[in-house]
Structure 1
Amino acid sequence: MLGDETIRDRLWRIASRQRGYFTAAQALAAGYSYQAQHFHAQRGNWHRVARGIYRFREYRDLPGSNTDHLVRWALWSGDRAVVSHTTALTVHDLGIANPTEIHLTVPPGFRKKDPAVVLHRTDLPHSDIEQHEGFRVTTPARAIAECAASLVDQDVLDSAVSEALERGLLSRRRLLRAAQDLGNRAELGVERALNSEAT
């Protein structure tokens, strides 16, 4: 019994940094055989979220966040995905973006697919990534520039830029530099948003 408690404590420590989520590989490393994992899922101790991804039952009774589900996608990707584009705007609580799909940026060689996510393939510089609890997300400047490059509605862009400047999250210069890094479409969209803010 003591051994089981030690194993559970070990897995709980991992899961607590991931809002209660964990992978089958993490459970195996903590000491749970695949047979034991099946048992805990069958008993309802663990909630099976997706293939190879679980969540401790207790987390269903704890207050959650509207970004909890993004941890699941970070685990799905093997921690290679970064939340980006309009999904990143919602994480940063910028503007009126309300995406129906989850946008993730992954390295060019990433092969997994899922109909619930939109994948963007590029190598992100470390300076454009922030760590949140259990997942990574593009910075506010990068998220805005990504949205501009993707030609999101100008209203979404305008509202995100307005709030980012108002809250002091970034300067006009920093925002323009981020847009220039992503090309002409991004630069044009951000300039329009900045001009709208100035009027």
Structure 2
Amino acid sequence: MLVEPRNARDRLWRVAAGQSGYFTAAQALQEGYSYQAQRFHTQRGNWIRIDRGIYRFREFLELDTGDTASLARWSLWSKNRAVVSHLTALAVHDLGIANPRAVHLTVPPGFRQNDPAVVLHRAVLDEDDIVQREGFKVTSPLRSIAESAAIPADQDVIDSAVSELLERGEATRRQLLHAAQRLGAQASLGVERALQEKS
């Protein structure tokens, strides 16, 4: 039986736990922390200020929350409008050798925020193209490969991702080609080359 959180900290902790320890000032306010209380907890070191209006419980810095934990931060930064995509999505799905320096995010066309740590791609994604992870959304493996080929990423990155996806049995050649065709000639060329390499 789940016990209802009794105080503001318990309630905020429950929210943050599903976001790798991150939370927004608005979420803290909703759970009972005034802006003055938020300032107090930040000054005391209980909360780590990550970005404007984004915090993380100090305890989560000491936990091994995995390589993808910081992606929850970018979801909050975008007010849950960004979807982890392209090369970063390949890394999330552990497909191939992608090791991007920046975080790739797909955002809606009217999105206005920017940050030097992210590469923004503008598109409207279908629900089938999105996978929910703890604290963030990521493009599906098929979409991740096709969009990485479309930018275009290095061919060896696409080759390795296609090879792993096929070996896992998570997609067919036909599905890969169809996903690439939806994103245009550059994506199709990259995926076709990867499939030839696999033949």
Band of TM-score, shorter chain: over 0.9
Name the counterpart of 1:117: 118
Name the counterpart of 2:32: 31
SS at match of 1:74: helix
Name the counterpart of 1:129: 130
Shift of 1:168: 1.4
Q: Distance in 2 between matches of 1:16 and 1:151?
A: 36
Look up the equivalent residue of 2:184 and give its one-letter code: G
Name the counterpart of 1:168: 169
SS at match of 2:138: strand
> More helix per residue: 1 or 2?
1
Q: TM-score, normalised by structure 1?
A: 0.96
Q: Distance in 2 between matches of 1:44 and 1:54?
A: 11
Name the counterpart of 1:179: 180
Matched, 1:191 2:192: yes
Q: Structure 2 regions of 5+ residues with no counterpart?
A: none
Q: Distance in 2 between matches of 1:157 and 1:71?
A: 25
Name the counterpart of 1:149: 150
Q: Distance in 2 between matches of 1:153 and 1:19?
A: 31
Q: Distance in 1 between matches of 2:42 and 2:146?
A: 42
Shift of 1:60: 1.3
Look up the equivalent residue of 1:118 and give its one-letter code: V
User: In 1, are the aligned partners of 2:20 and 2:70 still within 8 Å (CA)?
Assistant: no
Q: Distance in 2 between matches of 1:28 and 1:5?
A: 16
Q: Distance in 1 between matches of 2:146 and 2:110?
A: 23
Q: Distance in 1 between matches of 2:58 and 2:6?
A: 16
Q: TM-score, normalised by structure 2?
A: 0.96
Which portions of structure 1, spanning 4 or more consecutive aligned residues, are displaced by more than 3 angstroms? none
The aligned runs of 1:84-103 (5 Å cut-off) are 84-103=85-104
Look up the equivalent residue of 1:25 and give its one-letter code: A
Shift of 1:58: 1.0
Matched, 1:6 2:7: yes
Name the counterpart of 2:160: 159
The aligned runs of 1:46-125 (5 Å cut-off) are 46-125=47-126
Name the counterpart of 2:139: 138
Q: Distance in 1 between matches of 2:57 and 2:194?
A: 43
Q: Distance in 1 between matches of 2:6 and 2:37?
A: 14
Residues 168-177 or 80-89, more deviating: 168-177
Name the counterpart of 1:44: 45
Q: Distance in 2 between matches of 1:76 and 1:128?
A: 21
Matched length: 195
Q: Distance in 2 between matches of 1:61 and 1:69?
A: 14
Look up the equivalent residue of 2:87 and give its one-letter code: T
Deviations 1:87-141 (A, max 9, x none): 0000000111111111000000000000110000010011000000000000000
Instruction: Compute the RMSD of aligned alpha carbons.
Output: 1.1
Q: Distance in 2 between matches of 1:118 and 1:57?
A: 28
